[in-house]
Amino acid sequence: MTTSQGEPASAVRPPMGRKVRAYITLTKPRVLELLLVTTVPVMILAQNGLPDLWLVLATVIGGSLSAGSAAAFNMYLDRDIDAHMQRTVNRPLVTGEVSPRGALIFAWTLAVVSTVWLLITTNWLAAALSAGAIFFYVVIYTILLKRRTEQNIVWGGIAGCFPVVIGWSAVTGSLSWAPLILFVLIFLWTPPHYWPLSMKYKDQYENVDVPMLGATRSGSQVGLQVILYAWATVACSLLLIPVASMGMVYSVSALVFGGWFLYESHRLYSRAVRGTE
């Protein structure tokens, strides 16, 4: 069987399994893993024990659909620059496995379903925060900030902070200082986590005129910013100990992993100053 252009139909319409995998790729599954890792422990903290397992499952499902929607919108809007970056050139919208129209419909569907799902299974606050996270990532970060300012990831990273307040509000129906500190913790962690990546792919960001800090500033300047944010991140993580009455396991973990984070940040800066990779 061939198309009207004489091409094999299989070359135009990939097998169903491949199509499904392409749509799953639109949701950025590896990012979803990070978001869920922050959601479930916060729900346990909010409950001060193990919350209802159905509530946890419902929140995880709703949060996954919400984050998947934001990621799909992001890929739809960034498909022009993705085609020119080595690390994104295999994304489904670039390869043609998913059409722009299909991706847009998919993104909107996930957005609506996730919001309605959380409204039905959790509460209005969790649903509203979920919708807010999609709006922030798509409109504030992807559309307004990403291509205009080197501080894009600083403010755009706020979208990745929402899972902790969504998880907390799903359990309690309200917010308090503990989830807000966790929100700020992830906000502070995001830039020093991502800026080294932008340093690695500096040339690719320059080619598509996306002003990531790693592409617009010298390695030593970026390294210094990473150090400052890393120290702020560790300080914020320790602030949670008295506010939420965290136990020994958290306290020791925060000190050990925070210390490792600081060590790696200073190591990055040192290598940047010396001009090594």
Q: For residue range 156-174, what is the model confidence (pLDDT) as tens digits?
A: 788 889 999 999 999 999 9
Sign of CA dihedral 75, 131, 183, 248: negative
Helix (H, G, I), strand (E, B) or coil at 8: strand
Cα dihedral angle (215, 216, 222, 228), rounded to 10 degrees?
Answer: -120
What is each CA distance from 64 to 31, 92, 114, 206, in whole angstroms? 10, 19, 8, 32
* Lowest mean pLDDT, pick from 16-30, 52-66, 157-171: 16-30
pLDDT of residue 126: 97
27-41, 154-168, 190-204 — most confident range: 154-168
If one compares 217 and 125, the residue with the highest pLDDT of the two is 125
In this prediction the pTM is 0.85
pLDDT of residue 270: 93
Residue 85 φ/ψ, nearest 5 degrees: -115, 130
